[in-house]
């Protein structure tokens, strides 16, 4: 299956024709609706809230947010961000209730600290893994986005981002960028190992889930298996890392990566002494 | 764009992140419209503690609305006071800025608003 991310930038790909096709396709509408409902289930909002819709497009997911009946904690108010003017144009024609912004999420999230109760993103953040110009890098765009998102959510807030990772490298790149921004992060996969796999990145700010653990989000949900791949033991504390050692080099590389610099991948050769040459 | 959203938006330019002048953004040549939105008291009570009341007072004066009280009402007062609730609802949720500009008080960058959608795309040297 072809991936539009690989060929064009989001704002160029979703032109008037493509945006209309996307919005009128009943197949896409059903998939988007079911993913939005799943994301809302994960957000678990008890009362009407202010939600940020990242990559809102023509407002397919936002529409559902406005339609939640009062007995299920709705209706929610939402603000949508999207980079494609054509998509937003269709959202205007469809007369959605949320507020719309034309903005690039890779440039950050222009809201003041603690604005939103929650954030939702359906099929958008994989676009961040591609940088169209030489001035930006995927790592820099991801870090600006997650840092901005982290700041704009209130303490105890949650974000659920459904995305289509190209491969495990992308999945790891996105998750680690979120963790570096300070989120508690976990990946939820619906229908794993099938063609219809749906990946949800569940993010928490501060200790919202039970005792600050991300697995608390899915606690009590049916049919969810928790796979915890985290290291059991804590890493050694600060001050114990010897300058020039392998851990020290890896730490420095992570620091540089956080700044958005291009860093060579870590391998078994990292930090090894060179063989003596004659 | 709703006045509620304007109360949360800051300037997106990198050098403005550290400045207090970059919030609130000041509307310029704004054309307003009024939408009918169903009132949702719970949502207003939820959002109220997060509103920057001083910024809201500035914005409402700049848009030419009657001035707001000095202090924000507490969520309990708000749910009890039907009139206050209605007034806040019509200012925050129903008033829409359809055309105009938003100007940053620090760098002076102007964000255009067309058909109610603000353009926050920045040239790459400002990111």
Which domain covers residue B30, as residue numbers? 3-126
pLDDT band at A130 (very low <50, low <70, confident <90, very high): confident
> Is residue B84 within 8 Å of residue B92, measured between CB atoms?
no
> Is residue A163 within 8 Å of residue A125, measured between CB atoms?
yes
Residue A220: what pLDDT? 62
| ipTM for the complex shown | 0.90
* Spatial CB neighbours of A213, under 8 Å, sequence gap ≥ 6: A184
- Residue A111 contacts B, CB cutoff 8 Å: yes
Tell me: the pLDDT tens digits for A99-110? 999 999 988 899
Nearest CA in chain A to B118: A101
The two structure tokens encoding residue A93: 């024609």
The interface residues of chain B toward chain A in range 38-97, judged by CB-CB distance below 8 A, are 40, 42-43, 46-47, 50, 52, 93
Nearest CA in chain A to B6: A111
- Residue A117 contacts B, CB cutoff 8 Å: yes
The whole-angstrom distance between B4's CA and the closest CA on chain A is 10
C-alpha distance from residue A234 to each of A135, A215, A229, B88 (Å)? 37, 18, 13, 50
Domain count, chain B: 1
Tell me: the pLDDT tens digits for B39-95? 888 888 888 888 899 999 999 888 888 888 888 888 777 778 888 888 889 889 999
- Report which of A155, A174, A211 is spatially closest to residue A54, judged by C-alpha positions: A174
The interface residues of chain A toward chain B in range 58-77, judged by CB-CB distance below 8 A, are 75-77
Would you give the DSSP letter of residue B38?
-
**Rounded to two decimals, what is the model's pTM?**
0.81
Which one is predicted more confidently, A62 or A132?
A: A62
The two structure tokens encoding residue A176: 């680690």
Tell me: the pLDDT tens digits for B50-61? 889 999 999 988
Cβ count within 10 A of residue A114:
16
- Residue B29 contacts A, CB cutoff 8 Å: no
C-alpha distance from residue A260 to each of A54, A144, A149 (Å)? 22, 9, 17
- Residue B11 contacts A, CB cutoff 8 Å: yes
Can you give the CATH number for the domain in which B48 is found? 2.20.25.10
Rounded to an integer, the average pLDDT of A86-101 is 90
- Residue A108 contacts B, CB cutoff 8 Å: yes
């Amino acid at each position: 299956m072809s991936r539009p991310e690989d060929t064009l930038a989001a704002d160029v790909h979703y032109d008037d024709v493509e945006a209309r096709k996307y919005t009128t396709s009943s197949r896409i509408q059903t998939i988007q609706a079911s993913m939005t409902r799943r994301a809302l289930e994960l957000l678990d909002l008890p009362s009407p809230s202010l939600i940020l819709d990242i990559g809102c497009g023509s407002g397919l997911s936002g529409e559902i947010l406005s339609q939640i009946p009062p007995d299920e904690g709705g209706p929610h108010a939402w603000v949508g961000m999207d980079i494609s003017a054509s998509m937003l144009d269709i959202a205007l024609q469809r007369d959605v209730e949320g507020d719309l912004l034309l903005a690039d999420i890779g440039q950050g999230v222009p809201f003041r600290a603690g604005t939103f109760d929650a954030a939702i993103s359906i099929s958008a953040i994989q676009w961040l893994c591609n940088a169209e110009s030489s001035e930006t890098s995927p790592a820099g765009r991801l870090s600006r986005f997650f840092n901005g998102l982290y700041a704009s959510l209130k303490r105890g807030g949650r974000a659920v981002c459904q995305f289509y990772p190209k491969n495990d490298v992308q999945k790891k790149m996105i998750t680690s960028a979120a963790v570096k921004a300070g989120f508690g992060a976990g990946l939820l996969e619906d229908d794993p190992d099938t063609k219809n796999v749906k990946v949800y990145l569940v993010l928490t700010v501060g200790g919202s889930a039970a005792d600050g653990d991300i697995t608390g989000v899915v606690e009590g949900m049916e049919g969810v298996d928790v796979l915890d791949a985290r290291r059991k033991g804590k890493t050694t504390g600060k001050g114990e890392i010897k300058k020039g050692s392998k851990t020290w080099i890896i730490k420095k590389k992570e620091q540089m990566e956080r700044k958005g610099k291009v860093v060579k991948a870590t391998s078994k050769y990292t930090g090894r002494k060179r063989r003596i040459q004659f | 764009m709703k006045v509620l959203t304007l109360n949360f938006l800051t300037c997106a330019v990198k050098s403005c992140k550290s400045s207090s002048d970059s919030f609130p953004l000041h509307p310029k040549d704004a054309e307003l419209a009024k939408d009918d939105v169903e009132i949702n008291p719970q949502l207003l009570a939820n959002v109220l503690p997060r509103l920057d009341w001083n910024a809201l007072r500035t914005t409402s004066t700049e848009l030419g609305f009657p001035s707001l009280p000095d202090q924000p009402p507490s969520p309990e007062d708000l749910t009890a006071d039907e009139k206050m609730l209605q007034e806040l609802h019509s200012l925050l949720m129903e008033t829409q800025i359809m055309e105009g500009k938003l100007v940053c008080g620090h760098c002076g960058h102007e964000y255009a608003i067309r058909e109610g959608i603000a353009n926050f795309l920045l040239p790459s040297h400002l990111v």
